[in-house]
Chain A
Amino acid sequence: MSPDSAPILNVSKLVKRFGGFHALDGLSFHVLSGEILGLVGPNGSGKTTAINVISGLYAPDGGEVVLDGVSIGGVASHKLVHRGVNRTFQVPKPFLSLTVRQNIEVALAYGRAVGTPPEMAALLEQYRLTEVADRPAADLNNAQQKMLDLVRALATRPRLLLLDELAAGLNPTELDWIAGHIKALAQSGTAIIVVEHLMGFIEQITDRVIVMNAGKEIFEGKLAVAVRVPQVIEVFLGGEHAA
């Protein structure tokens, strides 16, 4: 992996409140093009909320999200997609009654991918969806629905890709397989933020991690270092799940 030095995304002092509760409480970090950044932290620490704000689902209540040097806080999701941001969902969200092919067609038709658009057949093949291409997405198992989420995102040619627990529920062989794909995407210049609980997987693919707790960053750097930081250990052991 060879991240170049241009930060594609800069998040600074991001705040997102739900009622009086601060889901994001001054979160700051950046990602470089071609970099794979891990976003880890216990359940409820605000990882998904961060992705939701960056992908335009929620407007931030404070702070800034800067894409390519331009502030994008509050810009509608579809416009961000056209500017090269896309994501998957922790609980996959395909168009259930449309076929797999139709799911992808929508993104190919409306995603305004820059350059030559990706090819349907290649996407189906690479993410092992060819056999189910003409079945309704509702017929897919959870792992396949996650792949469909990913393919829908890739059909728009994102330069910044946010993956929310994509690997959860995959078996070890599948994990290696998807890790290979994610690394290849980064190598082609895509900046990728990976939210994941599987530390082995994070270790295998990320260049750097941000550890979050209670809507804030508590550590930034290599995962191997993070696991020796007392504050990080405490957050994970004190949390409701052990990573």
Chain B
Amino acid sequence: MPSSFKHTLFIVLLLLAVFAVLPGVYQNHLLLFNFVIFLILAQGVNIIYGFTGYLPFGYVGFFGAGAYGFAIMVMHFQAPAALAVIVGGLVGVALGLLLTPLLRLSGAYFAIANLAASLAVLHFVANPALENITRGPYGVSLTGTFNPTLAYAAALVVLALTLGAVVYLKNSRFGLALQAVREDAVSASMAGVDVVRMRVIAWLASALVAGLAGGVYAWYLSVFYPDNVFSGDFSIFAIVFALFGGVATICGPIVGVIILYGIYNLIGFTTPQYFQLIYGLLIMGLVLFLPAGLVSLATRRGWHVP
């Protein structure tokens, strides 16, 4: 095993162990759960943006679709929660498939079309005419499956799978080919890479991750409205966290979530009046001085960042 791969494995396992132990010593379980959700979503953004260059401004669409996939399985089919989470992931993939034509767009056009698509899904789900299926704007209440402890454990499993996927991308020829596509799609095709197929696979993988995360989120909350699980904040936070730490690495998005979501919860609660200011300055500073994310502080020194 190459040593960089061992380092990666160590970081990933440490992170999972810390989040497995923390609920025993720290009371605010909802906060821990939200950390895990953002760790998953930031890595999901990493898969599609870091490895292909598509910026998913409507990433929450998959998350919300996954949450409603979960809810519908539980409400209408009395499915066990674990199965409903898997269905949530598959609903995310199905939405991803439906949106594959967006991959023909580039840059800002893709980002905007993806945002519009997520709003369309929100309004579809929240449509009062669908009350019998989604409960429309009135929200869902899933008391039968309510079990925050298990839901938290499921979130950790999804995080482990997601990190596993990113570790694979970082260390496989497949991931290398994806990065080649991101760098120069024409050249990638001249290396024999099926560019369209690669992009679709990465897109669906990141949709799956968000769908699964939405599923466990619905499981944990049990009671929610369309606006809760389709909130644009999820997309923005996941993107900002991933970019802040640095995409196309495993550590970058992790560092981004821990620091930014940590600060968010620290100053957001204690001194909310300064929160927006500090947050805004941090992000501006980063974009201006470290466009490749915090990890570029290390890579610039020639250190290898897994």
Contact = CB atoms under 8 A, between A and B. Distances in A.
Interface of A: 55-57, 76-78, 81-82, 86-87, 89, 93-98, 102-103, 105-107, 109-112, 149, 152-153, 155-156
**On chain B, which size bracket covers the interface?**
10 to 19
Nearest to A158: B190
B176 A57 contact: no
A138 B188 CA distance: 16
B249 to A, nearest CB: 12
A110 B191 CA distance: 6
Most B Cβ at <10 Å: residue of A77, A98, A107, A156: A77
Contacts of B189: 56, 76-78, 81
Contact of B186 (A57, A105, A106): A57
Contact of A93 (B179, B186, B192, B194): B186
Q: What are the 4 closest A-B residue pairs judged by CB atoms, nearest first?
A: A77-B189, A110-B192, A111-B192, A107-B191
A56 B189 CA distance: 10
26 contacts: A77-B186, A77-B189, A78-B189, A78-B190, A78-B194, A78-B195, A81-B192, A82-B192, A86-B190, A87-B190, A93-B184, A94-B184, A94-B187, A95-B187, A97-B183, A98-B180, A98-B183, A106-B173, A106-B176, A107-B190, A109-B173, A110-B173, A110-B191, A112-B192, A149-B187, A153-B190
Contacts of B190: 55, 77-78, 81, 86-87, 107, 152-153
A89 B184 CA distance: 12
B187 A93 contact: yes
A98 B176 contact: yes
B176 A109 contact: yes
Contacts of A96: 183-184
Contacts of B186: 57, 77, 93
B193 interface: yes
B91 interface: no
B65 interface: no
Given A57-B186, A87-B190, A93-B187, A106 B195 contact: no
Nearest to A57: B186
Contacts of B192: 78, 81-82, 107, 110-112, 156
B104 to A, nearest CB: 14
